[in-house]
Amino acid sequence: MERTLITGGAGFLGSHLCEFFIAQGHEVISMDNLIKKENIENIAHLMGHERFKYIKYDVTEYLHVEGKLDNILHFASLASPKDYLDYPIQTLKVGSLGTHKTLGLAKEKKARFLLASTSEVYGDPMVHPQPESYPGNVDPVVPRGVYDEAKRFAEAITMAYHRTHGLQTRIARIFNTYGPRMRLDDGRALPNFMVQALKGEDITVYGNGTQTRSFCYVDDLIEGIKKLLYSNEAEPVNLGNPEEITILDFAKEIVHLTGSKSRINFCPLPQNDPKVRQPDINKAKTILGWEPKINRQEGLRRTLQYFKKKLEV
């Protein structure tokens, strides 16, 4: 039986990973400091399972886990602009100190280590779509730079541990992912649009809505994480859905899906908001044999059921 530690294990992606690896027969340890206290609901259904353990802990502190560990998946981080702008120092610390501590634990346990990085390492890209070879266009001193640079540092120290200590490391550059268990007040486009549409409020679109995003359903992403973890690829790999859509068209899609009478309300574009975001996933296709299978219409339909239940509509 493999023993797997998932930091940030009560978060959106972390909780899905806990569920997935339990289903794979692993013993799973979920570690989370619950900076967003409501996240505990994401793993409530796993409490009491014989192969699941939850530890409330901040991974930027001294880190020790009793017994063997086969895998460490480092997903501890605030990931939405709203959150990391509210907690800039904590975001920087978990990307730097937290990654250092979890890498040290992986070295001690001789465990595989997978870093949850992000498409935000590409910043506001000058190359489109974004391949792993693109070094990015990032401004470290703007407010959202705390997340971008935290993840860029995390990638750098992960590669340093791989090269210096021979650690089995993996780096997943995760693009926009959605699905059940996203927080209603997450601040990202999909939760904003879905909550506003279901409440009949105006849909908030920043700028003129021509900026693009690519949305990957969570089940596809989790499968990609598994395949990357068990591969031999130490260099970064993009994981996301390359189907690109403008934010304005996405907002209209949500309005149509929900049957809402909401109108579009345009607001000023936030500073350094990326104009385009689309993964080049040729590397994932070639090395992992992975690509998304769930189309956006099906993924949104599943996600809508979750949001309706949460909002009781």
Residues with active-site annotation: 147
Question: For residues 15, 19, 25 and 29, what is the CA-based torsion angle, rounded to 10 degrees?
Answer: 30
Token pair of 271, please?
């500073």
Token pair of 143, please?
């407010």
Q: Is the pLDDT of residue 102 over 90?
A: yes
Q: How much is the pLDDT for 271?
A: 78
- Ordered structural domains, the chain, with CATH: 3-178+218-241+282-288 (3.40.50.720), 189-212+244-277+294-311 (3.90.25.10)
Question: For residues 155, 230, 239 and 116, what is the CA-based torsion angle, rounded to 10 degrees?
Answer: -40
Q: Is the pLDDT of residue 313 over 80?
A: no
Token pair of 72, please?
């460490």
Computed over every residue of the chain, the mean pLDDT equals: 97
Q: How much is the pLDDT for 91?
A: 98
Determine if the peptide bond prior to 129 is cis (ω within 30°).
yes
pLDDT per residue as tens digits for the range 59-88: 999 999 999 999 999 999 999 989 999 999
**Please, which pLDDT band fits residue 153 given cuts at 50, 70 and 90?**
very high
> Is residue 101 helix, strand or coil?
helix
- Tracing tokens 């997340």 back to the chain, one arrives at 147
Token pair of 9, please?
């294990």
DSSP designation for 287: I
Instruction: Give the CA count within 13 Å in the CB-facing half-sphere of 301.
Output: 5
Report the distance separating Cα 241 and Cα 254, nearest Å.
18
Report the distance separating Cα 198 and Cα 254, nearest Å.
9
Of 229, 278, 286, give the one whose Cα is nearest residue 131: 278
Mean pLDDT (whole number) for 239-259: 97
Report the distance separating Cα 126 and Cα 284, nearest Å.
22
Mean pLDDT (whole number) for 145-156: 98
Instruction: Give the CA count within 13 Å in the CB-facing half-sphere of 156.
Output: 11
